[in-house]
A and B are shown apart, each in its own frame.
Chain A
Amino acid sequence: MNEPLSIPGGLQLRTQLFVIAVGIAMLLFILNMVRRKQLREQYSLLWLFSAVVMTLCAVFIRQVDKLSHLVGIHYPPAFLFLVAILLVLVLQFHFSTVISNLREQNKSLTQDLGILAAEVRELRRAIEERKKVP
């Protein structure tokens, strides 16, 4: 009953081709975003990696199947989901570190901006005072 799902090649060729197409489209989309400078190289790497993993999983479906059994998951699609979730987690974590960094820089800029604005105000006031007293 579970034969069409678990044996290699059980996944339909059509499905395989569809996933490969989506993977390649994703890859091209990300590369194009980087080319147009809407995505920085350093942040695109993880996405590119995800797209490549997705495509490779579709191409080498038999090996994925074997690997899945090797780690003790006897329902290969579950293994694919696990890989997908792990990739998403890695991406999310990456974003958390980026956000932490941005927050720190943001705080620093905010403080310096506040101080500089105060300096300008004080200097202006000092100049005005001087003008008043000839």
Chain B
Amino acid sequence: MSASALVVDKPSPLTSAVARVLVVVPAHNEQESLGDTLDRIRSEMPETDMVVVNDYSTDRTSEVARAHGAVVVELPWNLGYGGAVQTGFKYAVAHGYDAVVQMDADGQHDPASARAVLAPVLAGEADVVIGSRFLGRADYAIPAPRRLGMMLFGRIATAVTHQRFSDPTSGFQALHRCAVEFFARDNYPSDFPDADTLILLSLAGFRVREVPVVMRARTAGTSMHSNLRAVYYVAKMLLSILMVLLRHSRVPRRVAGGAFTGDADADARRTRPTRRTQS
């Protein structure tokens, strides 16, 4: 089915003059690269707030983040990438931000591209914008197994959503408030958001778009994707996509004004009494 059919109307366009934007940076042992990343975000987008979600680092990540002007949310134990990002989303919802830019701390994501990623969200043209390294320019070689995995799941996402996703694993994203609220609920994986998350977004009626960005090789730290986990990753992702499709009818839908309805159960609960009185 077409995803756009579910969209009742556009979210209210956010003009950058009034929109409050939060940059969410999940970080796990990133003291080497975090300071530089934050400084560059600050100089690219001086009007935004920054929150670093420190996912139980053992180094000085928190101190570095504070010294470079970010609010730090410290997790008392390691939640994993998705859990950390979702924490940032919850923070954004709690503080009423209009939009979120999500970036990695390791220097892969170039803050110079952040404005381009955010722009369609502020213009009300998209609910979620994904910075794609394949539409743009990747300044480093991606390992073959990883590239293969990205291609496979990208294809699946394209087949289901009738939309091309060249880089479903990209953690360089901008999200409209409605999508942030959607993810702050129960709709975000705790490990690595991937094609499954894009399919979920699309089925829920959010408008997802890709823009080209520049990505670099990591400046420091260790990558979270190791080849050892490749088999687990492929199996888990296939299962996860299958589950998203099976849960389809229970996915809350994005509706008018950028808000979205509750889950299917809640809707059923709401409508049940009226049905009873009619019969």
**A interface residues with partner B (beta carbon < 8 Å):** 107, 110-115, 117-118, 121-122
Contact B79 A107 (CB under 8 A): yes
Q: Is residue B101 within 8 Å, beta carbon to beta carbon, of the partner chain?
A: no
Q: Is residue B91 within 8 Å, beta carbon to beta carbon, of the partner chain?
A: yes
Contact B77 A115 (CB under 8 A): no
Contact A107 B83 (CB under 8 A): yes
Contact A115 B91 (CB under 8 A): yes
**B interface residues with partner A (beta carbon < 8 Å):** 51, 53, 71-77, 79, 83, 86-87, 90-91, 94, 190
Please, how many angstroms separate the alpha-carbon atoms of A118 and B95 in the complex? 12
Contacts of A111 in B (CB 8 A): 75, 79, 83, 86-87, 90
Contacts of B74 in A (CB 8 A): 114, 117-118
Contacts of A115 in B (CB 8 A): 73, 87, 90-91, 94
Identity of the chain B residue whose Cβ is nearest the Cβ of A103 in the assembled complex: B190
Contacts of A110 in B (CB 8 A): 75-77, 79, 83
Instruction: Given A110-B83, A114-B75, A118-B74, output 11 extra A-B contacts at Cβ < 8 Å.
Output: A107-B190, A110-B76, A111-B79, A113-B76, A114-B87, A115-B90, A117-B74, A118-B51, A118-B73, A121-B72, A122-B71
Q: How far is the CB of B102 from chain A (nearest CB, A)?
A: 15
Contact A118 B72 (CB under 8 A): yes
Contacts of B77 in A (CB 8 A): 110
10 tightest Cβ-Cβ pairs between the two chains A and B:
A111-B87, A118-B73, A114-B73, A114-B75, A115-B91, A107-B83, A115-B73, A114-B74, A111-B90, A110-B75
Report 27 cross-chain contacts, Cβ distance below 8 Å, ordered by A residue: A107-B79, A107-B83, A110-B75, A110-B76, A110-B79, A110-B83, A111-B79, A111-B83, A111-B86, A111-B87, A111-B90, A112-B90, A113-B76, A114-B53, A114-B75, A114-B76, A114-B87, A115-B73, A115-B87, A115-B90, A115-B91, A117-B74, A118-B71, A118-B72, A118-B73, A121-B72, A122-B71
Q: How far is the CB of B64 from chain A (nearest CB, A)?
A: 16
Contacts of A114 in B (CB 8 A): 53, 73-76, 87
